[in-house]
Amino acid sequence: MRISIAMCTYNGQQFLQRQLDSFVTQTSPPQELVVCDDGSTDDTLAIVARFAERAEFPVRIFRNSRNLGPAKNFEQAISLCNGDLIALSDQDDQWYPGKLAEFQRFFERFPEALVAFSDADLIDERSVPLQKKLWRSVRFSHSASSPHVDTSIFAVLLKLNHVATGATMVFRSQFRNQFIPIPASWLHDAWIVWLAAFYGRAGLVSGAQICYRIHPKQQVGLNPTSMTARLAHARQNALKDYRLLIRQLEEFKDYLECQDSPTTNECMYRVNAKIRHIEGRATLPPSILPRVRWILSSWREYRFYTRGFVAMMKDIFLPPVDASAAK
């Protein structure tokens, strides 16, 4: 199977060379590297151009005339790829040498899979291992001791909203016809995984296949890791996050309405139920007793659409605040 790498760049000179070098060390080299730059003003394009001169595979470079943002830039890069498989790449990570070979074997073994993703080892801006795994950091508790297609990921998404990062994702090129265009409110990787999960054709590849870099300049990263910072972030951003999630789920419903699948009605029911639950959490009573009553009466919804008891306790003691009204 031919593999294309779709890479998006934007002012990424600090870490870019290390990622490009990790492409060269792949035991199964890519067919091509497609780079879409979103208007970098640093040396990003020069670094890619020098790499293209020595790479043993074609490197196709495109510079956007205007800034598209990560999702639309990736959409563009994906549409330009020619491979049977498309591997997404950020500009600041490092891939292990066997990554592409591992995904190649996975898709050969599981012809029904549309998308696959793996775990990652977290590193800091100096490439020092943080001794943490990506899946654990995003509270994705599934394990992939052996590669498999997981038909239960949609239920997990209803709880966690996002379980995969595009940095670890590979998908069949034929699948892009089903997820392009990417709706305005979605990140590209989340949209791809939700659709693959809806079809029951998302796969997990064993082990960490990349080093995922945590640093202050990354465009999309993880939430704060300390408990105090996480709670403060959750409370201050809850209403904004709820509004965004409702908008995303409404766009997902628009997609479902056009699909003729045995699972469409069940998925629509679950999505509508999650929207109602989010709306309830966004309008919790300010008084403690009415708030507790609503939360306790909604324990089933908390179980299916949130992290359960943890989310209930957060809503009891740290109800969302309207940050805009407080200014």
Output the pLDDT for position 219: 60
Mean of pLDDT values over 116-145: 89
- Tens of pLDDT, residues 165-203: 999 999 999 999 999 999 999 999 999 999 999 999 999
Output the pLDDT for position 226: 55
Torsion of CA 90, 109, 1, 162, to 10 degrees: -20
Q: Same domain for 45 and 152? A: yes
For residue 12, what is the domain's CATH number?
Answer: 3.90.550.10
Domain end among 179, 213, 247: 213
| Eight-state DSSP code of residue 123 | E
Q: Same domain for 269 and 156? A: no
- Phi, psi of 193, deg, nearest 5: -70, -40
Band the pLDDT of 141: cuts 50, 70, 90: confident
Q: Which residues pair with 205 in a beta bridge?
A: 118
* Measured CA distances, 7 to 21, 93, 105, 201, 274 (Å): 13, 11, 22, 24, 33
Asked if the structure places residue 29 within a domain, the reply is yes
Q: Same domain for 239 and 209? A: no
- pLDDT score of 35 more than 60: yes
Q: Same domain for 252 and 175? A: no
The DSSP annotation for 17-33 comes to HHHHHHHHT-SS--SEE
Asked if the structure places residue 205 within a domain, the reply is yes
Asked if the structure places residue 218 within a domain, the reply is no
Mean of pLDDT values over 3-22: 98
Q: Same domain for 40 and 153? A: yes
Output the pLDDT for position 225: 53
Mean of pLDDT values over 237-258: 95
Task: Show the tokens assigned to 247.
Answer: 């908008």
- pLDDT score of 325 more than 70: no
Mean of pLDDT values over 104-116: 98
The answer to whether 153 and 63 have CB atoms below 8 angstroms apart is no
Q: Same domain for 200 and 101? A: yes
Q: Same domain for 163 and 249? A: no
Which range has highest mean pLDDT (182-191, 213-222, 225-234)?
Answer: 182-191
Q: Which residue's structure tokens are 């979103």?
A: 38
Task: Show the tokens assigned to 9.
Answer: 């760049």
How would you write 157-214 as a 3-class SS string?
A: HHHHCCCCCHHHCEEEHHHHHHHCCCCCCCCHHHHHHHHHHHCCCEEEEEEEEEEEEC
Q: Same domain for 43 and 181? A: yes
Lowest mean pLDDT among 82-91, 283-292, 314-323: 314-323
* Average pLDDT over the chain, rounded to an integer: 92
Question: Which residues of the chain form beta strands (DSSP E)?
Answer: 3-9, 32-37, 59-63, 85-89, 94-95, 115-123, 129-133, 148-149, 170-172, 202-213
Domain count along the chain: 2
Q: Same domain for 41 and 183? A: yes
Q: Same domain for 159 and 289? A: no
Note down the domain range covering 117. Answer: 3-213
Collapsed DSSP state (helix, strand, coil) of residue 274: helix
The answer to whether 253 and 195 have CB atoms below 8 angstroms apart is no
Domain end among 191, 213, 235: 213
- Tens of pLDDT, residues 158-168: 999 888 899 99
Q: Which residues pair with 34 in a beta bridge?
A: 6, 60
Mean of pLDDT values over 96-109: 98
- pLDDT score of 15 more than 70: yes
User: In angstroms, rounded to a whole number, what is the distance separating the alpha carbons of residues 311 and 84?
Assistant: 41
Q: Same domain for 283 and 189? A: no
Asked if the structure places residue 220 within a domain, the reply is no
> Residue 5: how many CA atoms within 13 Å on its side-chain side?
29
- Tens of pLDDT, residues 46-67: 999 999 999 999 999 999 999 9
Q: Same domain for 146 and 249? A: no
Domain end among 213, 238, 269: 213
